[in-house]
Amino acid sequence: MAKKATTTEQSLESIMWNCRNALRGTVGGNDKNRDAVMGLVFLKFAGDKFDKRRKEITEQYGEVPAFLEKKSFYLSENVFYLNETSRWSHIVTNASADDIAVIIDKAMKDIEDGNPPLKGTLPQNFYATLGTRPEQVKMLIDEVNKIDEKRFHDRDLIGRVYEYFLQVFAIDSGTSNEKGEYYTPSSIVQLIAELIEPYEGVVYDPCCGSAGMFVSSIKFVERHNGNRSKISIVGQERIPDTWRLAKMNLAIRGIAHNLGERNESTFAEDLHKDKKVDFIMANPPFNLKLNAQGVTQDKLNGDPRWDGYTTPPVSNANYAWILHMLSKLDVTNGIAGFLLANGALNADGVEGDIRRELIENDKVEAIIVLPREMFYSTDISVTLWILNNNKKSRSLNGRQLRNRQDEVLFVDLRRWNENIYEKKYIQFSDEQIDAIKKIYTEWQTNENFEAVPELCCSATKAEIAAQRYSLAPSKYIEFIDHDLEIDYASEMARIQGEMREVLKAEKKSQAMLEEAFRGIGYGID
C-alpha cells in the first residue's frame, strides 16, 4: 500500500515538473511564468469544483436549466459560478486553437466579472501578451488537465499543487530585488500555527504574501478536528501581483477572507484600522527601510500604533512591525507568532529602547532561533518571536497553563539542520515540529521546567535586564565546551598510531623508488 502511494506522488510530481518546464525559456521571465501556471491551475480547480457542484444540482433537481444556471446554488457552497466559455472543459476543447491565449483571457475576465469576491484578483489580458507560442500554452493546458482529484486521492490536492508551484518559483527567483518574499516555507508556517493554536477567532497577517499563513491556520484547525468556520481571515499585502495571488489561493480553497479592496503597504495605509485580532501569523520583510518606500519619520511620529512605546525609526522596520502587530492584538488574550532577522535580538539605539519596553511590559513569551538555509530569499538564520498578552495561569485548549509572567522561553534550533531538500534548503519534519511544540507546552505548563544545554532554557525579566535586555538565546542557554570532553592521552595515542603507519608507508615507497632507479642503472644512493 505504501509503495502505491509513493508511485502516485511521483506521478503527480512529474506532472507538476512538466508544467513548470512548459514555459521555460519564454520572454515572460520567472514571475510571469509563475502567474501563467498559477492562473491555469486556478481555472482547472475552479472548473472541477463547478462541475462537481453542477452534478450535485442535477442529481437533486434534474436537468433543469433554471436550477443548473442559478448562481446562488453555487455560491452558497463556496463554488464560483462559471459561464460556458469560462469553464475548464471549454479551455481544454480549444487548447489547440491559434487564439487559445485570448480564450483564456476572456475566461479570466468573465469569472472575475461574475464573482464579486474575485474583483481585482485574476490576471487580465495576460496570456495574449505573455509572448508564448500557442503550442506552449497547449502543452501547459494538457499537463494541468492531468491534475485530477479523481486520480490523485490527496486530502488537500489543491493546496499541494499551489504549494509546489509557490515553492519552486520562490527557489528559482533567487535573492535579488526582494523576489521570493511571497513564500514562507511550509514547515515554518506549520510550526507557528502549532505554537499559537488558532482554533477560533480572527487571524491577521499585515504582510500576507501568498496567504500561506492563513492557509496553514485553516489546516491547523482541520488537522485537530476543529471548525474552520470559526476562523476569520484578515490581512494586507503591498505587492500587487502577490496580493492577487493570495486572493486566488484563498478563493480556490473556499476560504472567506478580507485582504482589503486593494494592495497597500501597511505602513503607508493601514486598511484595517482599529481592528483587534486574536492571532497574528506573519513573516515581514527583513530589515525593510521604510524611508525607501516614501514613509517619513514625520508620518510615524504621533501614530497611535506606538502608544506607550518609543517611536520606531524609518531606517529599519523590524520594530515598527512588532509594535504594529502588538497594537492589533486583543488586549486580553491576543497572541502573535512572527519572524524577524536575528539582528533584532540585539539591536541598540531606538530599537533597543523598544525591546526594553516590550520586556518590561511583559509582552515577549518565547524566542526561537531557526537554522540557516530555511528561506529561499536569504541564507541567514532568523528568529521566531511569540508575543502574548496573557501569560497568567489559565486553562487553554485542554491544558492548565502556569503563571509565566516576567519569564521568557529561549530555544536555539540552529543545529537542527539535517533535514535537507532541494539540494541545500532545510525544513522541519513533522517529528521535529512536535518536539518543538513539546518544549513550548512543557515550559507553559510545568513549574519545574528543566533547561536543556545547547537547546532551551527559561530566563526571568531580571536576568534579561542584566544582559542589557538582549534577546539572543546564546546569552541564557548553557553551551558546553566540548573540548573539555576530549581524552587527550587516548587521542594523541590514536594520532601517533596513524602517523606511524603513514611514515612506514612513506619509507616503503621511498625504498621502491630507489630500487627502480638502480634497476635502470641510475642509483641514487
CATH code (residue 194): 3.40.50.150
pLDDT tens profile 413-454: 999 988 787 667 888 999 999 999 999 999 999 999 999 999
Claim to verify: residue 402 and residue 464 sit in the same structural domain = yes
Q: Residue 78: which pLDDT band, with cuts at 50, 70 and 90? A: confident
Domain boundary among 121, 154, 187: 154
The pLDDT of residue 365 is 98
Claim to verify: residue 513 and residue 407 sit in the same structural domain = no
Q: Average pLDDT, whole number, for the chain?
A: 87
- Which residues sit opposite 387 in a β-bridge? 336, 364
Claim to verify: residue 501 and residue 440 sit in the same structural domain = no
Domain boundary among 120, 154, 188: 154
80 part of a folded domain: yes
pLDDT exceeds cutoff 60 at 27: no
Tell me the mean pLDDT in the region 197-218: 92
The pLDDT of residue 499 is 86
Higher pLDDT, 410 or 80: 410
96 part of a folded domain: yes
Claim to verify: residue 140 and residue 188 sit in the same structural domain = no
The pLDDT of residue 485 is 55
Claim to verify: residue 354 and residue 496 sit in the same structural domain = no
Q: Which helix (H) or strand (E) holds 459?
A: strand 456-460
CA 221 to each of CA 35, 153, 218, 276, 423: distance values in angstroms, whole numbers, following the listed order: 29, 21, 5, 21, 32
Claim to verify: residue 142 and residue 266 sit in the same structural domain = no
524 part of a folded domain: no
The pLDDT of residue 32 is 78
- Which residues sit opposite 100 in a β-bridge? none
Q: Residue 6: which pLDDT band, with cuts at 50, 70 and 90? A: very low
163 part of a folded domain: no
The pLDDT of residue 154 is 57
Claim to verify: residue 377 and residue 426 sit in the same structural domain = yes
The three cell numbers locating residue 203? 487571524
pLDDT exceeds cutoff 90 at 130: no
Claim to verify: residue 306 and residue 244 sit in the same structural domain = yes
Among the ranges 27-31, 370-374, 386-390, 489-493, which has the highest mean pLDDT value?
Answer: 386-390
481 part of a folded domain: no
Supply the CATH number for residue 96's domain: 1.20.1260.30
The pLDDT of residue 388 is 98
Q: Which helix (H) or strand (E) holds 280?
A: strand 279-282
Among the ranges 59-73, 75-89, 387-401, which has the highest mean pLDDT value?
Answer: 387-401
Tell me the mean pLDDT in the region 67-81: 90
Domain count for the chain: 3
The three cell numbers locating residue 142? 494538457
Neighbouring residues of 263: CB distance < 8 A, sequence distance ≥ 6: 237, 238, 239, 240, 242, 243, 244
Distance CA 348, CA 163 (A): 38
Distance CA 80, CA 239 (A): 25
SS3 per-residue string spanning 375-430: CCCCCCCEEEEEEECCCCCEEECCEEECCCCCEEEEEECCCCCCCEECCCEECCCH
N- to C-terminal Cα separation, the chain: 73
pLDDT tens profile 244-278: 888 988 888 888 899 998 999 998 899 999 899 99
Claim to verify: residue 268 and residue 291 sit in the same structural domain = yes
Higher pLDDT, 185 or 141: 141
Q: Residue 33: which pLDDT band, with cuts at 50, 70 and 90? A: confident
Claim to verify: residue 471 and residue 492 sit in the same structural domain = no
SS3 content of the chain, % helix, strand, coil (to 5): 50, 10, 40
88 part of a folded domain: yes
162 part of a folded domain: no
Claim to verify: residue 136 and residue 80 sit in the same structural domain = yes
The domain of 37 spans 2-154
pLDDT exceeds cutoff 60 at 115: yes
The pLDDT of residue 311 is 96
159 part of a folded domain: no
Claim to verify: residue 435 and residue 511 sit in the same structural domain = no
Give buried/exposed letters for 181-201 (b at 16+ CB in 10 A, else e): bbbbbbbbbbbbbbbbbbbeb
pLDDT tens profile 167-202: 777 766 554 444 445 578 889 999 999 999 999 999
pLDDT tens profile 359-376: 999 999 999 999 988 887
